[in-house]
Copies of this chain bind each other. A is one copy, B any other.
Amino acid sequence: MNDVALGEIAQALGGELIGSPGLRIDRLGPLEGATPSTLSFLANPRYASQLAQTAAGCVIVAPAFKEAATQRGAAIVTDDPYLYFARLTQWWAQRVRPAPEPGVHPSAVVAASARLGQGVRIEALAVIEDEVEIGDGAVIGAHSVVGRGSRIGAGTRLAPRVTVMHGCTIGQRCIIHSGAVIGADGFGFAPEAGRWVKIEQLGGVRIGDDVEVGANTCIDRGALEDTVIADGVKLDNLIQIAHNVQVGEHTAMAGCVGVAGSTRIGAHCTIAGGVGIAGHLTLADNVHVTGMSLVSRSLLKPGVYSGAFPIDDNKEWEKNAATVRQLHALRERLRALEKKLK
């Protein structure tokens, strides 16, 4: 049986339950498409109009929507429905997903000098090199590779097909998604007569606790010192973090962001998808950059920054883009007119 009584949820997660604690819930779902056994939530007041129509058995709402929600059925009232919903997904996931059993799969290749904590799980065909340390309860996914001397903190999970190169450190309770590469060489070369001479990357990568790294995201090792990702940072998929970058606590970056070498990003920043950040810059705490902007200079004040060309019908865009290329000249012509008319 995969369903659960509403009362059990409220008991585990709190909130004011209005309605029958015996109501059976078999699914979490959005208001739209909900069934009488669906537990749903209203986090964004923009969707309040869906409240009247939804068939959801119970809706998690803020106090302001208590009346509207209970007129139509059961409700859980809580100050922050989105946060409640987040915790609910965690509780639900633990209920429906089998906990991974500890143990080393016989096909894994684990160096004799590796030190594995209590309750560690090493999945099929994983490779653990010499002098690696893996903390209690950590999971190393199938086909993942942990290079010589690296350390994986307690409770951290590497998905299948993750690479952690040698000499890197990952904190506790991190999640590293499939295809991520931690500790590949930074991109460093000295020019010599039209050729590039490699600068060996002698630093490592240091990742704090509670960090999430998305699928196919890359975090390069430092040239001399470490690349550093602080506690609580969340990185989405296909992000490039170059060598010696520092990302501050609880900063979040959406997919396809690129950060060039030695840039320091503050704490509590949000970097939207496709943003590029040039090298050797400083971004203050609480800087927020909107999608696909190029950060070409340091941003030393908290705030929201943008720099994308506005989308338009192709024909309109063509005319305006062509004019952009004459913009400075237009300004000069405007100045000339202003002079004439003074």
Contact = CB atoms under 8 A, between A and B. Distances in A.
A260 interface: yes
A305 B311 contact: yes
Interface stretch (A14-22, A112-120, A132-140, A287-295): A287-295
A338 interface: yes
Contacts of A202: 28, 89, 92-93, 96
Interface stretch (A4-12, A62-70, A159-167): A159-167
Contact of A218 (B142, B199, B238, B321): B238
Contact of A306 (B90, B191, B318): B318
Interface in A191-244: 191-192, 194-202, 210, 212, 214-216, 218, 220, 223-225, 232, 234, 236-238, 240, 242
A289 B317 CA distance: 12
A152 interface: no
Interface string A34-51: 000000000000000000
| Centre residue among A278, A317, A340 by max chain B CB count within 10 A | A317
B318 A314 contact: no
Contacts of A125: 109, 125, 127, 143
B320 A92 contact: no
A340 to B, nearest CB: 6
Contacts of A89: 198-202, 223
B147 A160 contact: yes
Contact of A196 (B33, B163, B197, B252): B252
A96 B188 CA distance: 19
A306 B323 CA distance: 15
Contacts of A87: 197
Given A292-B276, A338-B333, A307 B313 contact: no
B82 A190 contact: yes
B312 A305 contact: yes
Contacts of A309: 293-294, 307-309, 321, 324
A71 interface: no
A262 to B, nearest CB: 10
A187 B234 contact: yes
A215 B181 contact: yes
Interface in A156-185: 159-161, 163, 165, 175, 177-179, 181, 184-185
A327 B327 CA distance: 9
Given A160-B127, A215-B218, A256 B255 contact: no
B307 A254 contact: no
A238 B240 contact: yes
Contacts of A195: 210, 232, 250
30 contacts: A28-B202, A29-B225, A82-B190, A85-B199, A86-B188, A89-B198, A90-B200, A92-B200, A105-B109, A125-B125, A125-B127, A125-B143, A145-B160, A159-B163, A159-B184, A165-B178, A175-B185, A179-B216, A194-B268, A196-B250, A216-B218, A292-B294, A294-B311, A296-B311, A303-B313, A310-B325, A322-B328, A324-B327, A327-B327, A333-B334
List 5 tightest A-B contacts by C-beta distance, closest first: A307-B311, A86-B190, A89-B200, A184-B215, A304-B314
